[in-house]
Amino acid sequence: MQNAAQKTQTPLTTFLLRLGDNALVLGQRHAQLCGKAPTLEEELALMNVGLDLFGQARNWLTYAAELEDEGHDADHLAFRRDAHDFRNLLLVEQPNGDFADIIGRQFLFDAWHVHLLEDLAQSSDPRIAEVAAKSLKEATYHLRRSSQWVMRLGDGTEESHARMQRAVNNLWQFTGEMLQADEIDQAMQEADIAPSPERLASRWKATVEEVFQQATLERPPYDAWMYTGGKVGHHTEHLGFLLAEMQYLPRAYPDATVW
């Protein structure tokens, strides 16, 4: 049985929720790293990336809330939805693990995210084009940073190479979902709002191939078995724990105000 929010969702609203939830969940993973980075410089970099993602999430979710027209705002969508209402990719909800896991997850997402935003900046929807153009500047830095780290670790010591390869192998099974189109993706393409999934997939693969080659990493096969479902609300157990931490205060004190 669908809840009220799901009943009022259009393909555009669902697409915006996917964009916002990706940024929100990955941003929260970065927030969990506060005080745990290997160096002070990397601590600042990780937190800055997280803040960028939170800003992007607010922009996408604000637009989604306006289209839903249920009297909600971005905070409601972030803190009052349950896990099955989230539409983020499974990749971004995966646990932090060690530094190679963190960087591998970020790179695989960045390599897709940058190309998506490049095309969304030319969207027929002016609001999406505006948010995407601003977000692209941040995402371009994110990709440059994560790519450099993948190459440093992959083409570094024997230990760093092994850890980076292991991270890629473990995370690869969550990448197929980014490249698979469904009815929402097709509707956005037909409306000239978002790029064709085929175009996005080919550009993602080209970026991954280039960086892996320089990092001396072996790319897992594209036709490997993949986990899917995040885009339609079927998540791993990890998202529930993440949301329990992120949503605790707003749910425990729903009437709290800032004064």
Give per-residue pLDDT as tens, 102-161: 999 999 999 999 999 999 999 999 999 999 999 999 999 999 999 999 999 999 999 999
Residue 9 · residue 68 · CB < 8 Å:
yes
Max CA pair span of the chain: 55
Interval 35-78: pLDDT, tens: 988 888 999 999 999 999 999 999 999 999 999 988 889 999 99
Domains, the chain, in order of start with CATH, read: 8-251 (1.20.1260.10)
Please give the residue that has the higher pLDDT: either 2 or 75. Answer: 75
pLDDT at 256 over 80: no
CA distance 147 to 113: 13
Buried b or exposed e, range 177-195, using 16+ CB within 10 angstroms: bbbeeeebbebbbeeebbb
Cα-Cα end-to-end distance for the chain: 39
